[in-house]
Amino acid sequence: MKDRHEHILGEVVRAYLGTGQPVGSRKLADQGELGLSPASIRNVMAELERQGMLASPHTSAGRVPTDTGLRYFVDTLMAVDSNINQTLEQKVAGHLSDAPGRNALLKRATDELASLTHFAGMVWVREQGFDRINRIELVPVSSEKVLAVIVTDVGEVQNRLIARPEESSEAQLHEISQRLNELLSGCNLEEVRVRLQHEMDSDRLKVRHLLEDLKRWADAPTEGQSDMFVSGQGQLLEMPEFAVVDTIRSLMTAIEEKEQLLHLVKQVESEESGVKVFIGSEHALVNMEQISVVLSRYEGPSNIVGTLGVIGPRRMHYERVMPIVDCTAKWVSKMLGGKL
Amino acid sequence: MKDRHEHILGEVVRAYLGTGQPVGSRKLADQGELGLSPASIRNVMAELERQGMLASPHTSAGRVPTDTGLRYFVDTLMAVDSNINQTLEQKVAGHLSDAPGRNALLKRATDELASLTHFAGMVWVREQGFDRINRIELVPVSSEKVLAVIVTDVGEVQNRLIARPEESSEAQLHEISQRLNELLSGCNLEEVRVRLQHEMDSDRLKVRHLLEDLKRWADAPTEGQSDMFVSGQGQLLEMPEFAVVDTIRSLMTAIEEKEQLLHLVKQVESEESGVKVFIGSEHALVNMEQISVVLSRYEGPSNIVGTLGVIGPRRMHYERVMPIVDCTAKWVSKMLGGKL
DNA sequence: TCTGGCACTCTAACGCCGGGAGTGCCGGAA
DNA sequence: TTCCGGCACTCCCGGCGTTAGAGTGCCAGA
C-alpha cells in the first residue's frame, strides 16, 4: 500500500477511535496533519473504500474503518508507546502485589483491567486436574469424624471429612495413615480405586467404612475446575455505541453464558504467547460486531493456566489497551509463580 | 377499605402485572370480572387515586398502581397458590440435590432462581470467621515442604504450605504435631499468636522457621469471607421496561458494586425469617424505582448464613415469585445442613 | 346508586420539510 | 501527472403540525 494511503488510513482510524463517529474528508483536512485538500483526501478515501479498508454507513456520512482497516492499523500502522509501560507497571504491581490468595489475585487483576481501560475486565483460569496422589493423611477432628487430607502431584490439597472408625485412638489412626500411604501414594485415580476395592474385599483392614468413604471420594474427587471473573461491564454502558438495548443484551448474555467467550479463550491458549486482538466480527460473537476483545495468556505454576483481557468497544485505543493487558498478564504470571 | 374498592384495586394490579401498561376503566369493564360499567369503575379509581393507591402517568393514560398500592396488594389481597408448591418443590429439589459442593450448590440455586422466575437470581453467603482452632496437623509433602492442616471450631479446614525443618523424619514431624496440638488446640487466634511468640522466644523447639511460618499464618489467616452470586441479568433486559439505557446502567452498577444490595441483605438477615419484598422505591436503590427485590434468608450450619432471592421488575407476579424464593431458600438450607 | 353520554386532554405516530454534512466528479492550475 | 476548487447530488436528522386513539371527569337521567 502506498505511503499516502497508509497515512490517511491511519488518520481516519485515529479520528474514529476518538469519537466513534464517521469521519469526513473536511475534518481530516482541517485537522492539518496531512497538508492536503479535502478533495485529494476524498480520492484516497474512495480508493481505500474499494480496498475494503473503509466503509460509509450512507452516502453523506463520512467513512468508518472496517474490521480489515482496523486490523491493518493494529498490525502495521500502530506505534505502541513503550515508555508508558514504566508508570503502568508500577500501578499494576502496586495493586496486585499484596493480594492475599489466588482467587483474590485474579479478582483484583479483573478489577485492575477494568479500571485501567474503563472497559470490562475478564480473567479466566483453568486448574488442571491432578494425575496422581502424593500422600494421604488422616487427621482426627472429633470423636466421630476424621479428616482425610490428600496431597496431589500438582501440589494441590484436597480435604474430605469421613466417618471415624469406632474406638480408634490417635495412634491407630496414624498407623492407618501410614498403611494408606504405602498402599496409595504415587497411584493415579484408577489405581486408587482398584486398590481400595481390593483392600475392601480382602478385608485386611477392619476399617471398611473408612475405606468406603475414601472410595467414594476417589469416584468423584473435586476435580480441577475452571472459573471466570468479569467486572466493569457497567462502565461499558457509558459508551454511546451501547445506546441500543440489543447490543447490551447480546453482550450481557455472552458474558453470562461464557461459552462463546470460552471459544476465544481456547484460541488464545493454543497460541504461544503475547497479546491477541479480536476486532469486531473477527471473534464471531453474534450481534457483537461493535465489540473488540483483547486477550493474553498468563501462566502460573504447572497446574494453572489461564487467559485474561478486556472486552471493549471496537473503537478502543488499541495502543493503550494492549500494553495494559500485556503487563497485567505478565504480573499475574509472576505473582502466581511466586505463590502456592 | 371497602370491599368494592379492594376488588377493583386487585383487578387493576392484576391487569398491570400482566402487561406493565396503565389500565383504563374500559379494559376492566370489558374483562367482565366486575360486572360494572366503566363509569362506575372510574369513580372508584378516582377515589383510589386520592388514597394514593393508584396514579396516572398523564390525563388520558389509565391508572398504574403505586408502590403503596402494590404493597397493599401483596400484604392483603394476594392469594398465594399453595398447591403450585408441589411441582415447584420437585423441580428445585431435582436441580439442587446433586450439587457437588457448597459453592456449586449456591451457584445452582442462583441459576435456579433465575430460570424459574426469568429474572436475575441472587445468592449471598457470609461465612463466619472461626473463633478457635481445634486441631493442627503437619503433613509432609516433599523434602522441603510440609503442609499444616488446621481444623477450626466451625469445622472449616485451612491449609498452609510451610518450610520443612531440615533433616526431619516423619516421626519427628508427628511428634512436633502432637506438641503443637498440646500447645494450641482450643486457643483463639490471639492466644495462638502469643503462645507461638513465646515458644519462639524460649526456643524450646528447634524449629524456629516452622513456628515463624505458622505465626505468619496466624497473623493473616484466610478469614471467613462473604460472597455473592448473581445470574440471569440478561433475561431482565428482555422486559420492555428496560428499553431505557439509564435503568439498565443503574441496575448493572448496583449488581456490580453490591454495596447497595448488601444494605438490603442486612435488613433481611436481621429479620426472623420468611420472604421479604421490596417494591419499587422501598428498597431505596437510586434510579431503580421500576425494580422490585424479593429476598429470603437461608441458614446453613452454624458458621454459614445467607440471603437469596431475585431482582425483577416492579410488575412481577409476586404470588408466583414469592413461593419460588421461599422454596429455594428452604432447600438450600436443607442441603447445607446435611453437608459439610 | 349506577350508567350512558359528551366534552376535554394528552400522547404517540405520521408525514413533511429544510438545513447540514459529505460525496463524486469535472475541469483547470501547478 | 498530481492536486485542488467548485458544483450538483444524496442522504440523514430534527423540528413542526396534524390526526387518531385512548382515557378521563362530570352531568343528567334511570
* Chain D nucleotides with an atom closer than 7 Å to a protein C-beta: 3-6, 9-12, 21-27
CA–C1' A38–D6 (A) = 12
Q: Give me B114's grid cell.
A: 433465575
Alpha helices, DSSP H, located in B73-169: 84-96, 102-117
- Residues of chain A whose beta carbon is less than 8 angstroms from a beta carbon of chain B are 100-101, 134-135, 137, 139-141, 147, 149, 151, 155, 157, 159, 161, 174, 220, 222, 231-234, 237-238, 242-243, 245, 248-249, 252-253, 256, 340
- Is the Cβ–Cβ distance between B88 and B327 less than 8 Å? yes
pLDDT in tens, A64-119: 999 999 999 999 999 877 777 789 999 999 999 888 778 889 999 999 999 999 99
> Hey, what CATH topology would domain A3-77 get?
Arc Repressor Mutant, subunit A (1.10.10)
Q: What is the rounded CA–CA span in Å between residue A329 and residue A125?
A: 12
Closest alpha carbon to B197 in B182, B181, B184? B184
Using CA coordinates, name the residue in chain A closest to B114: A256
Amino acid symbol at B157: V
What average pLDDT score do residues A242-256 get? 86
Residue A329 has what pLDDT? 95
For helices A170-184 and A189-202, what crossing angle results, to 10°? 120
Candidates A115, A135, A157, A239: best to mutate against B (most CBs of B within 10 A) is: A157
Q: Which is more confident, A205 or B172? A: B172
pLDDT, averaged across chain A: 89
φ/ψ of residue A62, rounded to 5: 70, -175
Helices (H) and strands (E) in chain B, counts: 13, 10
Helices (H) and strands (E) in chain A, counts: 13, 10
Q: What is the rounded CA–CA span in Å between residue A279 and residue A295?
A: 11
Q: What is the rounded CA–CA span in Å between residue B8 and residue B31?
A: 12
Burial class (CB in 10 A: 0-12, 13-18, 19+), A177: buried
> Hey, what CATH topology would domain A133-219 get?
Enolase-like; domain 1 (3.30.390)
Residues of chain B under the 70 pLDDT cut:
203-206, 224, 338-340
pLDDT in tens, B184-201: 999 999 999 999 988 888
pLDDT in tens, A284-333: 998 899 999 999 999 887 777 899 999 999 999 999 999 999 999 999 99
Residue B339 has what pLDDT? 42
Q: Which of B100, B137, B340 sits opposite A220 (nearest CB)?
A: B100
In this structure, whether the domain defined by B84-128+225-338 belongs to CATH 3.30.450.40 is answered with: yes
Candidates B227, B245, B255: best to mutate against A (most CBs of A within 10 A) is: B245
Kindly report the nearest CA distance between residue A140 and chain B, in angstroms.
8
Count of Cβ atoms closer than 10 Å to residue B163 Cβ? 13
pLDDT in tens, A23-33: 999 999 998 88
pLDDT at residue A340 greater than cutoff 50 = no
Q: What is the rounded CA–CA span in Å between residue A255 and residue A248?
A: 11
For B160: left if phi > 0, alpha if psi spans -120 to 50, otherwise beta; the answer is beta
Q: Which of A141, A243, A252 sits opposite B234 (nearest CB)?
A: A252
Q: Is B245–A242 a contact, with Cβ atoms under 8 angstroms apart?
A: yes
Could you list the beta-strand ranges (E) of B291-331: 291-299, 304-313
The domain limits of chain B are 3-77, 84-128+225-338, 133-219
pLDDT band at A144 (very low <50, low <70, confident <90, very high): confident
Burial class (CB in 10 A: 0-12, 13-18, 19+), A204: exposed
Q: Is B149–A151 a contact, with Cβ atoms under 8 angstroms apart?
A: no
pLDDT band at A128 (very low <50, low <70, confident <90, very high): confident
- Is the Cβ–Cβ distance between B328 and B113 less than 8 Å? yes
CA–C1' B74–D27 (A) = 37
- Residues of chain B whose beta carbon is less than 8 angstroms from a beta carbon of chain A are 100-101, 134-135, 137, 139-141, 147, 149, 151, 155, 157, 159, 161, 174, 220, 222, 231-234, 237-238, 242-243, 245, 248-249, 252-253, 256, 340
Kindly report the nearest CA distance between residue B224 and chain A, in angstroms.
13
CA–CA distance from A236 to each of A19, A21, A201, A241 (Å)? 15, 17, 61, 9
